[in-house]
Structures are given as structure tokens and as C-alpha cells.
Structure 1
Amino acid sequence: MNKARIAAAQLPAGRPVRLLFAGAAVLLALACVPQASHGQGIVRGAQEGSYQGNRIAGPVGGAVGGVVGAGVGGAVGAVDGILGIPYHGRRHCRGYYDGYHHFRCYR
């Protein structure tokens, strides 16, 4: 009866092992990148910039405010997306916090 010899697979020593671990680290880093749906700062920044610019300086201010708002909103949205900071909106009224730590509007 012939006995079959099975050789154990060995990892190559030296440089290829480092490349294997580097490739695994790159794939892990790419898996952790936020999705494109988190980068909504550009659209919101352009909308708010054009609204405020149009309100303050007319149509020319609206055009300039839209461009500047898109740039700044994109930068802020990218940083918030990378850090995972959620956007909860702003309060559109002036007010105060009562004794129970609830925000109350003056209106």
C-alpha cells in the first residue's frame, strides 16, 4: 500500500509576507471609508449660502453665496462625515433652557 505524502503549505519568508500584511491593511482601510451618502455637505452648503447671499446682497450675492457655500459646506461635510459627527439641524428660534434642561422658544 502506497502512503501519500502531504506537504504542509508554508508562507514564503521575508518580503512577500510584508506585502501580504500591507495589502490586508489597505483593504481594511478601504472598508472603513464612509459611504458617499455621508458627503451631503456640498448640497446643503450651496443651498444655505445662496439663500443667505440672495437675502443680503440680491441675485449677485446669491450666486456668490452658492459657490462659497458649496466649497465651505463640502469641507465641513467631509470633516463631519469622516469624524462621524451627525447633523441634527439648527434651532430656528431664540430661546432659553429651563430648569429641566429643555429648550424653550420665546415665541
Structure 2
Amino acid sequence: MNKARIAAAPSPAGSAVRLAFAIAAILLALLALPQAGHAQGIVRGAQEGSYEGNRIAGPVGGAVGGVVGAGVGGAVGAVEGVLGIPHRHYRHRCHGYYDGYHRFHCYR
């Protein structure tokens, strides 16, 4: 029993469609990358680390705090950027306390 194999002739339009899909996929991937303006973890970590280190241990603490802050800030910023975790601050505009039911009350 002979099986006849029919090979489809390669069409020139097929390769153009593949190229168009590849270009569209690359452009969408580039748009999905985090923007450079969102990558502030290293700079801010170094600033806050050097400030706190200088405040606590003087100039040597400022240098060490800047290096450690840059490393930790970069790591946290990279993880949040890759996973898409929003960085939110939950601060109240007044001084106060939490009661037994975990509700915040302002002094003033």
C-alpha cells in the first residue's frame, strides 16, 4: 500500500507573515519591559543608606551604608520590577495609634 505524500509548496507570503509576527512579538516584549524611570532602587537605596550610615557611624558608616543600600535597593527594585509588584506606602497624615480592632485613630 503506497501512501502518497503531498508536500505543500512554500509560499512567499508565509515567510512575510512569520516575519511580521516576529517583529510584532519583539515590539510587544520591548514595551513590556520596565521603563528606566522606574528603576530608582539603586540610587535611592544608596542615598538613604549613606544618610543613615553617616548619621549613625560618621563618614565610614556613610560609605558602608551607601554600598549596602545600593545593593539592597537594587535587589528589591529588581525583584519588584520583574514580578510587577507595586511599591505602595501606607502612611497616615496624622500621628495616632491602632486600637485592638486594628483601626487607626488620630490624636488630633
Q: TM-score, normalised by structure 2?
A: 0.63
Deviation at 1:102, TM superposition (A): 2.8
The total of aligned residue pairs comes to: 93
Deviation at 1:20, TM superposition (A): 2.3
Residue of structure 2 in register with 1:35 after alignment:
35
Q: Is 1:101 aligned with 2:105?
A: no
The 1:105–1:59 alpha-carbon spacing in structure 2 relative to 1, beyond 3 Å, is: farther
Letter of the 1:24 partner, please give it. Answer: A
Percentage of matched positions with identical amino acids? 72
Q: How does 1:51-66 map to 2 (within 5 A)?
A: 51-66=51-66
How big is the alpha-carbon RMSD for the aligned residues of Structure 1 and Structure 2? 3.1
Q: How does 1:62-77 map to 2 (within 5 A)?
A: 62-77=62-77
Structure 2 unaligned segments of length 5 or more: list them. Answer: 1-10
Runs of 4+ residues deviating >4 angstroms? none
Q: TM-score, normalised by structure 1?
A: 0.64
Structure 1 unaligned segments of length 5 or more: list them. Answer: 1-9
Letter of the 2:44 partner, please give it. Answer: R
8 Å contact from structure 1 (residues 11, 17) kept in 2: no
